[in-house]
């Protein structure tokens, strides 16, 4: 099996690994309930996608936001 010719120093390894960064996932707000959701997916809280209900068990009408329930 192929082997590296020289041992990489700790500095070189750590310098390479310093470029690895955590990626923050994209988040948009649901048009219906206003909760933070993944873009291009059905809202898991109210079952709406692009302002329309697409879940069978979800309510077909838009939810009127109630400030007291928050
Ligand atoms: Zn929603």
Domain tally, the chain: 1
Centre of ligand 1 from the C-alpha of residue 18, in Å: 38
Query: What percent of the chain lies above the pLDDT cut of 70?
Result: 79
Q: Is residue 16 part of a domain?
A: no
Q: Are 13 and 23 in contact (CB under 8 A)?
A: no
Answer yes or no: is 37 within a domain: yes
Does residue 19 belong to any structural domain of this protein?
A: no
Q: Is residue 8 part of a domain?
A: no
Residue 44 lies in a domain: yes
Q: Which of 50, 17, 16 is nearest to 32 (CA)?
A: 50
Give the residue among 58, 57, 38 at the shortest CA–CA distance from 48.
Answer: 58
How many Å lie between the centroid of ligand 1 and the Cα of residue 16?
41
pTM: 0.49
CB atoms within 10 A of CB 32: 23
CA 61 vs. chain centroid, Å, equals: 26
How far does the centroid of ligand 1 lie from the alpha carbon of residue 35, in Å? Answer: 6
Print pLDDT tens along the chain (70 aa).
899 999 999 999 999 999 999 988 899 999 888 999 999 989 988 888 888 888 776 556 666 655 555 4
Whether 4 contacts 22, CB under 8 Å: no
């Amino acid at each position: 099996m192929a082997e590296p010719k020289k041992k990489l120093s700790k500095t070189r390894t750590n310098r390479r690994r310093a470029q690895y960064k955590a990626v923050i996932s994209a988040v948009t707000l649901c048009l219906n309930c206003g909760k933070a959701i993944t873009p291009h997916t059905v809202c898991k809280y109210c079952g709406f996608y692009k302002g329309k209900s697409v879940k069978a068990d979800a309510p077909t009408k838009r939810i009127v936001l109630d400030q007291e329930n928050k």
